[in-house]
A and B are shown apart, each in its own frame.
Chain A
Amino acid sequence: MTDSTDKKSHVSDELLNSFIDHQITNEERQELLALLNRDETLANRVCELQRIKQLTQLAYDDIPAPAGNEQPDIARKRQFPMAASIAIFSLGLLLGLGMMQINTRVDLLPSLSAAHAQTKVLVHLTSADVDAGLNTLDNIQQMLQEYAANQQSVVIEVVANGNGIKLLSNSNRDIARRIAALTEWHDNVSFAACKNTIDQIKITNGRDIQLIPQVKLIDSGIVNVIKRQQQGWTYIRG
């Protein structure tokens, strides 16, 4: 990939990197999605870049622990025991990789006045940031409550792949408790984890991922994300 520009599609590697790093505008994302749908070579390039990104994220999850000479006021944050992921992108799944990123703040969530009989929302977890994860769960809970209060129908599916898998493991009690409570009180919210990612963590780091009991396993997180978008679900990056 030393050539910075693809002869067929004239899409630079810089733009493709920006795409997988969520650094482009929604308009650019939509344009690129259209290209990916008809250019197999381009889709393969995206696949390779995504894989390199995830390999990099994975590589430092099992590094030696620091020696422990910290000052008393410099607390060490609890480390996650699990690895990051390598999502496996088959040729076909790449065709829908361009997805609209929507701010996760509640005020930007789908409008309650929408004419649709049922609002369908896909929340995509790709980061292991616990605070961001808890914030996403807050937003989900608020959305469920607002729709219920307005007697409107909503279904929310939370899908995790890549680093997002860490949030759905039972190693984080705060997240686990919140998910248990959400699924107990609301039938219209579900959580799913990407099996490809979990398998890859097992291969790479030899670790088994223990998911929160309420989380179901799906073959490929990214395929599910794309499928839902094609079905008209609203995409939110958690």
Chain B
Amino acid sequence: MFSKSIQHKKLRLELSENRDRLYKLAFAWTNDAMLADDLVQETLQKAMQSLGNLREHAKLMPWACRILRNCHHDWLRRHREHGDIEDFEIAGSVDPEQDYLQQDTSRLVRDAIARLPQKHRDVITLVDLMEFSYQEVSTALDIPIGTVMSRLCRARAQLRDRLKVHVEQSSTASPTQLRRVK
């Protein structure tokens, strides 16, 4: 019992230390700072209350991301009346054309990611922002690894197509630093 308490303390600490990563992920899923913060708060509370349900401590972060995803889906269900949650796109915070003119690469990329279907956005953000292995993504989303790979493939292909114009423009502006190879 005593060692279990120590282990739970370590897990709580690990969760706390990963709060910023979870927030970044939540922001990528929502494009809304306040909502992202609320979801992370809710996730951490739920995770800390149910640490006893976590069988493999090594899977803490995929498990936490799964809780975050469930919290997000719950929020979507409460605020959206129709449609498949996994296909939802979220509103970009800015006008892509305006961003393009402003050369604001970060916002442009975020906007392109925001317009991905949720199921694709989930996978690419877990791989690239959380730096999860495909197995960890599979655990977090409760989908087969093959599905992880195909969704990631689709997500990156869509991003490539949506960011193509910007990349070409950047190539003209700064050929030594950002250029299309193809």
The 8 Å CB contact of B157, one of A13, A127, A200, is A13
A20 CB to nearest B CB, Å: 9
Choice from B20, B27, B44, B107 contacting A77 with Cβ under 8 Å: B20
Q: Which chain B residue has the least Cβ–Cβ distance from A59? A: B109
Decide if A69 touches B41 in the complex (CB within 8 Å): yes
Q: Which residues of B contact A139 (CB under 8 A)?
A: none
Say if the beta carbon of A56 comes within 8 Å of chain B: yes
The reply to whether B133 and A23 contact each other, CB–CB distance below 8 Å, is yes
A49 at the interface (CB under 8 A from B): yes
A 1-38 contacts with B by CB, 8 A? 1-2, 4, 13-14, 17-18, 21, 23
Q: Count contacts on B: residues with CB < 8 A to the other chain.
A: 54
For the complex formed, measure the closest distance between the CB of B18 and the CB atoms of chain A, giving whole angstroms.
7
Residues of A within 8 A of B134 (CB): 18, 21, 23
Q: Please tell me if B113 contacts chain A, counting CB pairs below 8 Å.
A: yes
Contact A47 B177 (CB under 8 A): no
A58 in contact with B33 (CB, 8 Å): no
Query: Could you tell me the dominant secondary structure of chain A's interface residues?
Result: loop
Contact status A74-B106, CB under 8 Å: no
Residue A73, interface by CB 8 Å = yes
Closest residue on chain B to residue A64 by CB atoms:
B33
List residues 124-180 of chain A with CB under 8 A from any CB of chain B.
127, 129
B181 x A129 contact (CB < 8 A)? no
- CB distance B153 to A66 under 8 Å? no
Given A23-B133, A48-B182, check contact A53 B41 (CB 8 Å): no
Given contacts A21-B134, A44-B182, A200-B177, contact A52 B37 (CB under 8 A): no
Distance in angstroms between the alpha carbons of A68 and B167 in the assembled complex: 35
Min C-beta distance of B44 to chain A, whole Å? 5
Interface bits B13-45 vs A (CB < 8 Å: 1, else 0):
001111111011001100001101110110011
Query: How far is it, in angstroms, between the C-alpha of A117 and the C-alpha of B141 when the chains are bound?
Result: 49
Is B152 located at the chain interface by the 8 A CB criterion?
yes
Within B69-120, the residues touching A (CB, 8 Å) are 105-107, 109-110, 113
CB-CB nearest 7 A-B residue pairs = A59-B109, A66-B37, A64-B33, A56-B128, A204-B105, A1-B157, A14-B149
| Given A55-B109, A129-B131, 6 extra CB contacts under 8 A | A47-B181, A55-B105, A55-B163, A59-B106, A59-B109, A66-B23
A–B complex contacts, Cβ < 8 Å, 11 sampled = A48-B181, A52-B159, A53-B156, A59-B106, A60-B106, A67-B33, A67-B37, A70-B41, A71-B45, A74-B19, A204-B106
